[in-house]
Amino acid sequence: MASNYDDSSITSILKYAQTFKDKTLRDIMSHEVAETVSDINLEYGTRRKGNFGNLVEEYVFGYSPNNDSQADFHKVGLELKTTPLKKLKSGKLVSKERLVFSMIDYMNIINETWEESSFLTKNKLLLLLFYLYEKNLDTLDYKFKIIQILDLLSDVSDADILQIKKDWETIVNKIKKGDAHLLSEADTLYLGAATKASNSSVRRQQPNNDELAKPRAFSLKQTYLNSIVQTYLGKEDKTLFSLTDDKSLPPTIEENIQSRFRPYLGKTNIEMEHELGITYKKRPKSHRRLLLNKIFGTNSNKIKELEKANITMRVIALEPSGRLTESISFPIFKYCEIVDEHWEESNFYEQLTTKRFLFIVFKKNKDGSDTLEKLKFWNFPMQDIDNAKWVWEETVKRIKDKKANELPGIKENQVAHVRPHARNKDDVLPTCYGTYEVKKCFWLNAKYIEKQLDK
C-alpha cells in the first residue's frame, strides 16, 4: 500500500491521523484501500476484542498488529492507541474503558527502574485515537472523535507523572514480594494493573512464589483517562477542587491528604469546628462531611484527584467502644439483569477490583462529640475475593430459584451480604419471575470493615 504518511516524521503521522476526525473506518478505507473493504467484511465477525484497533493498524496505517517491545511507529518511538468513548444519557462524552498497555512481564520487571522501564520506553509517546462506541453500530461505522499526541513525560502535570511513577513502583514492589497473584487494579491510583487474558483461567509464573498469577497489563484507569478526555474536549470542570494546586504540599495524593489532616488528628469535632470557624444553630446530619470539606478548604464535595483515581471518601463513625455498626453499601442491582451476568464481568466485581476508599475515621465520644482518629486508604484485598464471589453467586442462584426475598444475610458470609436499599418498602424492582421486590444491594459487612481498619 502506498503510504499516506512518512513514518519517520511525527508531524506527518499526526497530520494524516487528523484527517480521520468525524470519519468512520468505512469512510477512510473506501477512499484509501477500496479493494480491501470486502476482505475486511469477510474477516469481520471472526475477530474478537481489539478488533477496531487492529483494523486501524492494518488497513489505515498499513502495518500488521504486533506485540513488539518497540513502539508501533518505531522510527519515532510513537505508540498507537485506539480507544472508545461512550455517550452518557446526559449527552456527555466520557471514556468507555481503561487505556491498556503492554503485558507486565512478572519475571523481568523486578529488575527494572521506572526511568528505564519497558513500560515507559514503549509508551512515553502516544498517538491517541478516540472513537465513539455505539451499541448497535458495526465496527466499521464508529466515528473518530479525538486525535491527539500524548507525551506522558511532558503533557501531564508533574504531580500526575509522580503519582504514575509511584503507582508503577507499588505494582513492582508487590510483584517482588511474590504477591503478583494478589495484585488488584484498585491497589494504585492512576496507573493500574488490569487483568488481560483470553479467558479467566489463564495463569502465569511469578518470581519468588510458586503460586501462579493472572496475567495483567499496565493501564491508565478509566477515571484518569476520562480526565484527559475532558481536557481534550475542553469540558474539564474548572470548579473542581485540586489537591495539588498548593505546591507547598506533597504532590502524591495519599501524602498530600495525610499532611492536610495531620494537624487535626486526635482532636474533637468541637475543637476543629472552633478552630475552623464553623458555627451551627442546629448541627446538620452531614456535619462530619462538612468538617472534612473545611479541612480541605473547599465547599465542593468533589476533589479532582480523588475523581481521577476513582477514590470514594467515606466517613466512618465508630461507637465509643470502637465497634463499627454500619455496613458499607454498593449500587443497587436489577434482579432481571444480574441473573444474566458473569462474576468477573459483574458490577460488584468491577467495583471491588477498581475502586479505592478513603476512610476518615471518627470515634464517637460519650458526651456526643467525635474524635478524628485516623485516615485510611483502602481497597478490597484479593485474598477475600472468593468470599465476595460466593455471596454474588449465591445471590444470582437464589434469584433464579425465585427467592429474591431470601438473599445472603450477614451471618452467611464474613465479608459481604445483601440487604434492602430503597426509599421505602414501596420502592421496588421487578424480578424475572413476575413479582416485585424492594430494591437491594451488596454491602460489605461492618465487622469486616472494622477489622480492615486495624490492618
Partner DNA sequence: GCATGATCATGC
Min separation Cβ 188 and DNA, Å: 20
CA distances in angstroms from 271 to 42, 244, 264, 295, listed in the order given: 72, 27, 9, 13
Cα separation, 5 vs 53, whole angstroms: 18
Matching residue, cell 465477525 = 45
Is residue 423 close enough to count as binding DNA by CB under 7 A? yes
- Buried b or exposed e, range 191-219, using 16+ CB within 10 angstroms: bbbbbbeeeeeeebebeebeeebbbbbbb
Q: How many CB atoms lie within 10 A of CB 3?
A: 11
Is residue 428 close enough to count as binding DNA by CB under 7 A? no
Among 74, 267, 288, 398, binds DNA (CB under 7 A): 288
CA distances in angstroms from 382 to 79, 185, 205, 349, 352, listed in the order given: 32, 10, 18, 11, 9
Is residue 438 close enough to count as binding DNA by CB under 7 A? yes
Min separation Cβ 417 and DNA, Å: 6
Among 301, 365, 383, 435, binds DNA (CB under 7 A): 301
Is residue 435 close enough to count as binding DNA by CB under 7 A? no
Among 215, 419, 432, 453, binds DNA (CB under 7 A): 419
Which residues, 6 or more positions from 187, have their beta carbon under 8 angstroms from its beta carbon?
Answer: 170, 171, 174, 193, 379
How big is the site for DNA, counted in residues (CB under 7 A)? 38
The span of 95-103, 247-255, 312-320, 375-383 binding DNA (CB under 7 A) equals 312-320
Between strands 191-195 and 216-220, the pairing is antiparallel
Matching residue, cell 499526541 = 149
Largest Cα–Cα separation, the chain: 81
Question: Which is closer to DNA, CB of 82 or CB of 95?
Answer: 95
Is residue 421 close enough to count as binding DNA by CB under 7 A? yes
Min separation Cβ 107 and DNA, Å: 38
The span of 101-109, 153-161, 261-269, 320-328 binding DNA (CB under 7 A) equals 320-328
**Cell numbers that stand for 69 in this block:** 517491545
Question: Which is closer to DNA, CB of 82 or CB of 395?
Answer: 395
Question: Which is closer to DNA, CB of 210 or CB of 426?
Answer: 426
Is residue 209 close enough to count as binding DNA by CB under 7 A? no
Among 30, 312, 365, 435, binds DNA (CB under 7 A): 312
162 and 254 in contact (C-beta within 8 Å)? no
The gap between the terminal CA atoms of the chain, to the nearest Å, is 60
Is residue 420 close enough to count as binding DNA by CB under 7 A? yes
Question: Which is closer to DNA, CB of 11 or CB of 414?
Answer: 414
Among 48, 247, 285, 455, binds DNA (CB under 7 A): 285
Among 259, 286, 365, 435, binds DNA (CB under 7 A): 286
Instruction: Name the percent of the chain in helix, strand, coil, to the closest 5.
Output: 35, 25, 40
Is residue 242 close enough to count as binding DNA by CB under 7 A? no
Among 9, 36, 54, 327, binds DNA (CB under 7 A): 327
Is residue 278 close enough to count as binding DNA by CB under 7 A? no
Among 74, 314, 374, 398, binds DNA (CB under 7 A): 314
Is residue 381 close enough to count as binding DNA by CB under 7 A? no
Closest CA to 415 of 454, 383, 372, 377: 383
Between strands 209-213 and 99-103, the pairing is unpaired
191 and 228 in contact (C-beta within 8 Å)? no
Among 331, 344, 383, 451, binds DNA (CB under 7 A): 331
Is residue 315 close enough to count as binding DNA by CB under 7 A? yes
Residues that bind DNA (CB under 7 A): 284-286, 288-289, 300-302, 312, 314-315, 317, 321, 323, 325-327, 329-332, 409-411, 417, 419-427, 438-439, 446-447
